């Protein structure tokens, strides 16, 4: 199965974010530069809901907890949507190559 494109994953993550937020703001514009806390308004419980949705969509190939733990911006609550999307695509590529999820990089989109 081919790895989804960055744009496809971005669209999927955007849908997941809207679902996790309970469609709180249908007019909310989500861009790759949007921050989870300040721009989207996510609280920690929303992050947990997103993590569950990522697990359901991508399985063990995407380890959201590992991503958060390894991202200083996430600790500072300035995690950007584009960084998460890039992490997901990189994780899926690594998983598709059969080498597991170790060594996944978190590059900026």
CB 50 within 8 A of CB 57: no
Q: What is the pTM of this model?
A: 0.80
The pLDDT, as a whole number, for residue 69 is: 80
CA within 13 Å, CB half, 106: 18
pLDDT score recorded for residue 77: 61
Residues 109 and 105: their CA atoms lie apart, in Å, by: 12
SS3 for 84? helix
Structure token pair of residue 2: 């081919």
pLDDT of residue 72: 65
Q: What is the mean pLDDT of each run of 10 residues along the chain (109 residues)?
A: 91 90 74 92 87 92 85 67 95 76 38
- Whole-number Å distance between alpha carbons of 69 and 5: 25
Query: Residue 45 has what pLDDT?
Result: 87
């Amino acid at each position: 199965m081919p790895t989804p494109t960055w744009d496809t994953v971005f669209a999927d993550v955007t849908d997941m974010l809207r679902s996790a937020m309970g469609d709180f703001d249908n007019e909310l514009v989500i861009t790759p530069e949007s921050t989870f806390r300040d721009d989207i308004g996510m609280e920690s419980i929303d992050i947990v809901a997103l993590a569950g949705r990522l697990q359901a969509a991508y399985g063990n190939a995407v380890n959201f907890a590992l991503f958060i733990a390894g991202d200083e911006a996430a600790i500072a609550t300035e995690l950007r949507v584009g960084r998460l999307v890039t992490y997901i695509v990189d994780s899926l590529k690594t998983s598709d190559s059969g080498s597991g999820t170790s060594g996944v990089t978190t590059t900026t989109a």
